[in-house]
């Protein structure tokens, strides 16, 4: 179930652009989020979540990580801008009714650029992966 109040504390997106339902976990290296694909999502076409929707879910999941860490320190979450996407692999496209778990693995932060690996699981099967560089706007 989407808890928009909690999600809004972590990411700048608002409906209808919200592609994360729940922030499940964040530790030093990893963040986990959940998203239920709905048929009326602006990123669903012909019965499937599009590539843009998959990548947006990854980006927002990475944003929940940054938002959570800043919030824990008493700060205001910064706005992140995708600087690059690399090694994009989409094995299958989820359909409405599918529940996605997105795993963000923190690799490094260099000169204000956060480097992460993004992986989406559907029914415990990896369906998408990419490497992302996020520039923080402060």
Sign of the four-CA dihedral 16, 120, 125, 27:
negative
Which pLDDT score is estimated for 1? 58
**Assigned token pair, 64:** 């929940």
Tens digits of per-residue pLDDT, 9-50?
999 888 888 999 999 999 999 999 999 999 999 999 999 999
> In sequence order, which residues have a C-beta less than 8 Å from that of residue 91 and are 6 or more positions away?
126, 127, 128
Strand partners, 15: none
Does residue 133 contact residue 84 with C-beta atoms inside 8 Å? yes
Output the pLDDT for position 63. Answer: 94
Does the pTM exceed 0.85?
Answer: yes
Q: Which of 7, 27, 28, 9 is nearest to 18 (CA)?
A: 7
Kindly list the structural domains of the chain, giving each domain's residue range(s) and its CATH number in brackets, ordered by start.
4-137 (3.10.129.10)
pLDDT at 65 (0 to 100): 92
């Amino acid at each position: 179930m989407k808890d928009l109040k909690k999600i809004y504390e972590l990411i700048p997106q608002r409906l209808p652009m919200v592609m994360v339902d729940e922030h499940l976990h964040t530790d030093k290296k990893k963040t986990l989020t959940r998203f239920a694909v709905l048929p009326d999502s602006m990123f669903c076409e012909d019965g499937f979540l599009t590539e843009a929707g998959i990548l947006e879910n990854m980006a927002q999941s990475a944003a929940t990580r940054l938002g959570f860490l800043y919030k824990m320190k008493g700060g205001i979450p910064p706005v992140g801008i995708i600087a690059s996407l690399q090694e994009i692999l989409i094995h299958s496209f989820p359909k409405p009714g599918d529940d996605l778990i997105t795993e963000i693995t923190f690799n490094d932060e260099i000169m204000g650029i956060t480097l992460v690996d993004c992986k989406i699981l559907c029914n415990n099967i990896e369906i998408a992966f990419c490497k992302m560089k996020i520039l923080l706007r402060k």
